[in-house]
Structure 1
Amino acid sequence: MDKIAINSHTKHGEHIKILLVEDERVVALSIEESLISLGYTISGNVDSGNAAIESAASNLPDLALMDIRIKGDMDGIDTAMELKRVFDVPVVFLTAYSDQDVLDRAKLVKPLGYLMKPCKSTDLKAVVEISMCKARMDKEVAQLNRDLEKKVRERTQALMDEIESRKGAERKLLEQASVLTESNKMLTTLLENRKTEKKAIEEECLQNIRKYALPYIDIMTQQQDHDDIMTTLGMLRRTLLELISPASSSLSAKYMFLTPREIRVAEFIRHGKTTKEISDLLNLSPASIATYRNHIRKKMNILNTGINLEIYLNSFDR
């Protein structure tokens, strides 16, 4: 592609505008004549830095052929720096000198090339074509860099936006998690309260049945000998027991059919007291305590089962 571009400019050199800055008029006219014969357009032929800046401002050149030693306050190096800074015009230095200090200064401008005077037409052509090719390549690289920087900025911004979006989503999830945690705490508290209330109601029902219903059924059973009435009372008793069966897993339900003395003995047993210790605490004989133990086991349907009474009593909820 670059070779095609070079050939195109060689054939159609008039499209390349060159600013010539040379203070030796004979040399300047000779170079101008050679450039025109090669097909290039001269945008200006001046002998000082100020004149070069004015010419570039009015007719922007594609390339400046710049003598290092020119008239005025600015030499060719200073002028080249200003042309590049203000107008982005590439420069090829013309010089009859090979002073190393001067050349070191000239390098700071990053010229496209150097041409020693006096210069031949073929040298001019080669330097101009190569310089213009390099200038185009530099511009293309610069544009690619700008495009790349733009894409990097856009991608960086997109990533930052995505990160911010994800942070927002994360904050929202954390807020929702916090709300759910609080809701779970409230529900747990409500369930615990409901469980406590349910247990209290069950206990109250058990006590009321034990206190008000079963004693009267037992009295009526003892006073009646009619089979129908006895059957009815038995059914009533069984019905009451079925009604309270959902709460029968509690220790209070198991205690419902015990007498107050049997309940005291059961509590001592539950806490690991021996028959001798219970007899001492209640001021009763060990035989009486043994009788109470049998009554308790019978009422709890574990008589003659070999089940440890202490372990059995501790297996129920309070």
Structure 2
Amino acid sequence: MTAIVENQKETDVKKILVVEDERIIAINICSTLKQYGYHATYVSEANDAIEQIESEHFDLVLMDIMLNGPMDGIEIAARIKRTKEIPVIYLTAYSDEATINRAKTTEPFGYLIKPFNSRDLYISVEMAIYKSQVQKHIRIVESRLAENQKWETIALVASGISHEINNPLTSILNLADLILLEAKKTSNTSLKEKAEKITEESERIAKIVKNLVSYSQSTNSQWTYSNLISILNDTRSFLHQYFLKEGIQCEMEMGDVPHVYCQPQKIKQVLLNLIQDARLRVNTREDSIGRIITISLSLKQEAGKDFVQIQIQDNGSEDLLMGISQMNSLDVTRSIIAEHKGSLRRDEENSSWIFTLPIVNPV
């Protein structure tokens, strides 16, 4: 057994907290767990258990139901369930129906009746940790499926909008052309200007619809080597009409960078969230002139590793409390960037979002 423990990487060793008010029992349980290759520590009171759980990471908690202190083990387990994703196995000498029914409400991963042997303890611990890992994996898969369905819905809606709008829009443009021809024949300047305005606004609507459809076409989460310049241009085009309406100048400074291995649609979502935040910030300026967002793309190197850096800078007049920091999109943004092994930081001095993506060479 010792050889197994010695060959394990420290990062692979599972950490277990034993919450047991009988010191000798707690020591014996920790000793058994260490023989099976776990890192185990124990506490004997409810407050100590809560402090340990809130300050450290544990893969499993072995929880005695009857404890010294203001709370029993079931109350602590209920608190863990609300705030942490840590599986709990109950340890108890009591197996009455009322206790079992209270324990059930916290959805424990096991229930060991004292006294128990080391083999039963090992099997219960292994099964609980394995079940917990499977459940986390299932939640991740379900989250990704939900995200894919969201983008598929957007694509369907965009296609429907395109079909419903483009047909009458074509008729409007044709009628505007006829009015324009008639205005030229009769030298009616006022009518000519109105026809040109109809054509201009109709073409603007057509461009918005086209951008919406184009932006939502990439609905899968496939990893591919992608051109970040194209992704940036697509995202800016998607917001172009808003920038025109609000008097925002969006400048691009594109360096020569290689393709990046990523999920293009997710990177578009990151860019959209960060540029939208910059848009909110520049709109706090009292003057509508001089609202500028600058997006720069460059190749960087640190610690011998190459990565692409994207900086989104705005000249907003204040640091908006209503910005991305208060929106759920920040969590989504950080999650996507972390999934791509990148980084995100806020440079308040320069009013910039800066995020990086690693460069992975094709195999």
CA shift, 1:27, in A, is 1.4
* Other-structure match for 2:55: 58
Q: Which amino acid aligns with 1:88?
A: E
Q: 1:158 is aligned with what amino acid? A: A
Asked if the contact 1:47–1:70 (Cα under 8 Å) also holds between the matched residues in 2, the reply is: yes
The match for 1:124 is 121
Three-state SS of the structure 1 residue aligned to 2:154 is helix
* Structural mapping, 1:1-318, within 5 Å: 12=8, 15-42=13-40, 44-176=41-173
Change (3 A) 1:16 1:174: same
Change (3 A) 1:73 1:165: farther
Distance 1:161 1:51 in 2: 55
Moved over 6 A (4+): 180-183
Q: Which runs of 5+ in 2 are unaligned?
A: 183-363
Gap change, CA 1:127 and 1:71, over 3 Å in 2: same
Residues in 1 aligned to 2:104 and 2:167: alpha-carbon distance in whole angstroms: 56
Take 1:51 and 1:164, find their aligned partners in 2: how far apart are those partners? Answer: 59
Structure with bigger strand share is 2
AA of the residue aligned to 2:100: L
Q: Quick check: which one's helix share is greater?
A: 1
SS of 1:129 mapped into structure 2:
helix
Note the alpha carbon deviations across 1:71-109, whole angstroms, 9 max, x for none.
222211121122232221111111111121221121121
Find the aligned partners of 1:107 and 1:26 in 2 and give their Cα distance: 27
Specify whether residues 109 and 177 from structure 1 end up closer, same or farther in structure 2 by C-alpha distance, changes over 3 A only. Answer: farther
1-structure distance, mates of 2:107, 2:93 = 19
- Post-superposition shift, 1:121? 0.6
Q: Deviations over 1:285-306 (max 9, x none)?
A: xxxxxxxxxxxxxxxxxxxxxx
> Contact between 1:60 and 1:87, CA under 8 Å: does it hold in 2?
no
The Cα shift of 1:123 comes to 0.7
Figure out how many residues of one structure are paired with residues of the other and give that number: 178
Q: Which has the higher contact order (CA 8 A, sep 6+)?
A: 1
Aligned-residue Cα RMSD (Å) equals: 2.9
Aligned-residue sequence identity (percent) comes to 35
Q: Secondary structure at the match of 1:61?
A: coil
Letter in structure 2 aligned against 1:119: F
CA-CA distance at 1:174 after TM superposition: 4.5
CA deviations over 1:218-251 (Å, ceiling 9, x no partner): xxxxxxxxxxxxxxxxxxxxxxxxxxxxxxxxxx
* TM-score, L = length of structure 1: 0.50
Q: Shift in Å at residue 21 of structure 1? A: 0.6
Q: Please list the CA deviations of residues 186-236 of structure 1 after superposition, one character each: whole Å capped at 9, or x if unmatched.
A: 9xxxxxxxxxxxxxxxxxxxxxxxxxxxxxxxxxxxxxxxxxxxxxxxxxx
For the residue of structure 1 that corresponds to 2:18, the secondary structure is strand
Tell me: CA distance 1:110–1:170, structure 2 relative to 1, closer, same or farther (3 Å): farther
